[in-house]
Every structure is written in C-alpha cells, then in structure tokens.
Amino acid sequence: MSQNRTFSFEFFPPKTPEGVAKLRTTRQQLAQFKPEFFSVTFGAGGTTRDGTLAAVLEIQGEGHAAAPHLSCIGSTRESIAAILQEYRNHGIRHIVALRGDIPSGMVGIGEFRYANELVAFIREQHGDWFHIEVAAYPEYHPQAVSATADIDNFVRKVEAGADAAITQYFYNADAYFHFVDAVRAKGVEIPIVPGLMPIANFSQLARFSDACGAEIPRWLRLKLQAYGDDIASIRALGLDVVTELGDKLLTGGAPGLHFYTLNQAGLVSTVWQRLGL
C-alpha cells in the first residue's frame, strides 16, 4: 500500500469570537496529526469571503498549509479575479475550486455556470501557480441529469486543469470505488481523495445528507433513528461505521482521506487513532 497518501481536515469560517477561539483549539488538536493541509469553506456568492481568508491566513501564520475553497456561483469574472489575486498576494498556492450551491432566491447565477469554467479561468489567469482541487460525487451530484452526465462533468473539470479531487462524504465504499473506476475508464488519472464525515448528531447528518445527495444506508439510518436522543450510542455506532469505512477505503487503494470536521476535533481524532494513522 502506497505511503504517499494525503490527509486533510476541513473547517468552516467561524462567525463569532467564540467560534474563532474554538476553531483555534480544534486546529491545535488536529495539527499534531501533521495533515497535508487544512481547507476552509467559502459561502455561496462569496458570503464568507473575509472569514475564509482570515482563517486561511491564521492557519498559514501557524506554519500549516491551507487551502481556501472558492465557489463561483453568483460571481463575476472580475470578483473571482480579485479574490485569486488576493490569495496569490498572500502566498496561497492551493485552492478548492467549486461551483457552489445556488442560494435560494438568487436571480442571476453570475458569469460562471460550472466548476470547470472556474478551473479554466484560474489556469488562464495564473497558470500553474495554484494547486487546484475539485469536488467529486461518488453518489452523483443531486442536480445531475444522469450518472453519465455527472461523470462527464467531472472529466471536464479535470480536463480544464484540476490537479486532484476530494469527494462528497458517503457511507458506502462501493460507491467510491465504482466512481473511481468509471472516471479512470475515461482517462482521468488525478488522485481522488474520499471525504469522511464523522457522525455526531443524527438529525444534523440527515439534514446535510438530504441537501447534498449523500446517502445514509437504510440500515444505518434506521439504527441511528432508533437511538433517539441517546447521543453516546449514536456516536459509538458512528465511530465504528466511519472507522470501518476509512479502513476499507485505504486498504482498497484510496490515496488518502479528507475529514469534514465541522470544526470539532474529538470524533475525527478518535477515527484517526483507530485507523492507526
């Protein structure tokens, strides 16, 4: 099994001073695992632009690699160009390029319709300055017209200049392996790192999953539902499920893992230790 694996942790930009302090503590706990990078999400239409940059600069200032997310929906070429230049001025070399969700009530979707257009624009403006990650959907994007169309979409992002991909979270390892086989058959060779989401809270997970098209297997959903408000049992089952999934993915040749932390260190740290990383 290759040891050149990439492990990364994702945060969202905190909105309050308490959130900033809490994220600092979370980051200190996760930094001991020496991840390849920390990524920081970006609100639809640039709503968290300043928060994303502030978090990334703080991470960099602590001596860690950081990758801001950049979503293009609802943006102009001019506004995206300004953000890219700002990142470059700060020495940021790594970006997670996304289309982003269309906020409800948004009238115009802006000058970029798809992530491949954003990737092409970044390359056109900055050549190879940025290492570009894109998103992959093993269970297919919820708005994709078909599985085939979604695969083609992914291939377009890679052809536009993506260096690597991070997947949406999922709980079915086969979905990941089938997706990788399908895009490899289309000539895609970039690393596709699976995203893992620890399970802390069933109602929150169900809400996220319904919104992003990630499937909670029926047996898992029913078992989690049956625990009701028994948080300890939900977390114990979640730790078993996510650890087993991570193990299956790494054993099957996944090039690393990307953890959706929700700005919490506890469950991620436990999964990390259980996987023997």
pLDDT digits (tens, 9 = 90+) for 120-146: 999 999 999 999 999 999 999 888 899
pLDDT at 69 over 70: yes
**Residue 53 is assigned to a structural domain of this protein:** yes
Residue 2 confidence (pLDDT): 43
Instruction: Give the CATH number, domain containing residue 228.
Output: 3.20.20.220
Catalytic residues, by residue number, are 10
Predicted pLDDT at 73: 83
Range of the domain at 268: 6-275
Lowest mean pLDDT among 105-119, 139-153, 235-249, 253-267: 105-119
Q: What is the pLDDT of residues 245-277, one digit of tens each?
A: 999 999 999 999 999 999 999 999 999 999 999
262/10 Cα distance (integer angstroms):
7
Residue 119 belongs to some domain of the structure: yes
Q: Model's pTM, two decimal places?
A: 0.94
Mean pLDDT over each residue of the chain, to the nearest integer: 92
Domain count, the chain: 1
For residue 65, CA distances in Å to 15, 90, 95, 167, 196 come to: 22, 12, 11, 20, 20
- Residue 116 has a pLDDT of 95
